[in-house]
Amino acid sequence: MTLRWGILGAAKFAREHMGPAIHAAKGAELVALATSDAAKAAPFQAFAPDIWVHESYDALLDDPNVDAVYVPLPNHLHVKWTLKALAAGKHVLCEKPMAMHAADFDALEAAAASADRLCAEAFMIVHHPQFIRARDLVQGGAIGKLTHVDTVFSYNNAGDVTNIRNNADMGGGGLRDIGVYTFGAARFVSEEEPVSVPYAKVRYEHGVDVFAQVAANFPTFSYSAVVSIRMQPRQEITFHGEKGFVRLTCPFNANLHDVAELVLENDGQRVVTERWPAANHYVLQVENFGAAVRGDAAYPCPLSFSRGTQVMMDMVFEAGGPA
């Protein structure tokens, strides 16, 4: 069974990453795009010449030739259009953050169950072999008892004033854009949930969080993170145990920011480095989604996992105080 995909909107990210990934994935076919701008449709037609272009989102959802919908719209529209797509009988893969608050998942989970369709957040890192390997190492005792996780994710878009990430009304801000990775990565590898966020320093500009320093407690380890959209690009996460550590030097934009790499060092100072220069987590995400729709495997990032990340984000916003 080939899963036929449509995309709601000609977003830059869809044009550069997810559209090509759907086109390249096994068991997937990109058949439709919703945009009223022919100029924005042209880049998609360059790699998928047979794609059908609808002039509205509703028209795409009414297309019987579309089985699944990818939603790359601004954050504040994710829940609305995910619910509309489910009501139209489509499977849905929605960009992160899927919702603005954890309570929003109540409606998403109910709608997915009612429609009997797969609905998931496009949290691509859990599909990458470096994160699967990191989880296996940590869970397998390679670093002894996990004691602390520290992570940083930053870039600087201060000069891009029209970017939706700098627009509070569209759900912009660093935590929702990239903090979701720093939180979800720790949860995925450790298989634990935070119990408290005793400290969060959040700096805002025009209602948008542009810097956050976070300290959290998990059941068996401590956690710290720096997230910013006003700093030089940097990304890294380290899982530090009593007998070693695992460090991912390019965990969130694998093979774009840098090569996907994992470094394992144990208490004997033995260092093992593993790299995945060819793995594309966007393609793997689409293939795993199709496998789950066909019933061949469970989806690695169910709504329950995404709800957990949003719970942690809500805790951080509460600890950090109002804008």
How does pLDDT run along the chain (323 residues), one tens digit per residue?
899 999 999 999 999 999 999 999 999 999 999 999 999 999 999 999 999 999 999 999 999 999 999 999 999 999 999 999 999 999 999 999 999 999 999 999 999 999 999 999 999 999 999 999 999 999 999 999 999 999 999 999 999 988 999 999 999 999 999 999 999 999 999 999 999 999 999 999 999 999 999 999 999 999 999 999 999 999 999 999 999 999 999 999 998 878 999 999 998 788 999 999 999 999 999 999 999 999 999 999 999 999 999 999 999 999 999 88
CATH 3.40.47.10, domain 125-320, yes or no: no
Under CATH, which number does the domain 3-122 receive? 3.40.50.720
SS3 11: coil
The residues, ordered by sequence, that sit 6+ positions from 173 with a Cβ below 8 Å of its Cβ are 165, 208, 209, 210, 229
pTM assigned to the model: 0.96
For the chain, what are the domain ranges?
3-122, 125-320
The one-letter code for the residue type at 166 is N
Same fold, 3-122 and 125-320: no
At 268 the pLDDT is 78
Neighbour tally for 157: CB within 10 Å? 15
Q: Extract long-range pairs of 258-262: CB within 8 Å, 24+ residues apart.
A: 260/128, 260/129, 260/130, 261/130, 262/130, 262/133, 262/134
**What is the DSSP secondary structure assignment for residue 100, as one 8-state letter?**
S
Catalytic residues: 96
Residue 139 has phi, psi (to 5 degrees) of -70, -25
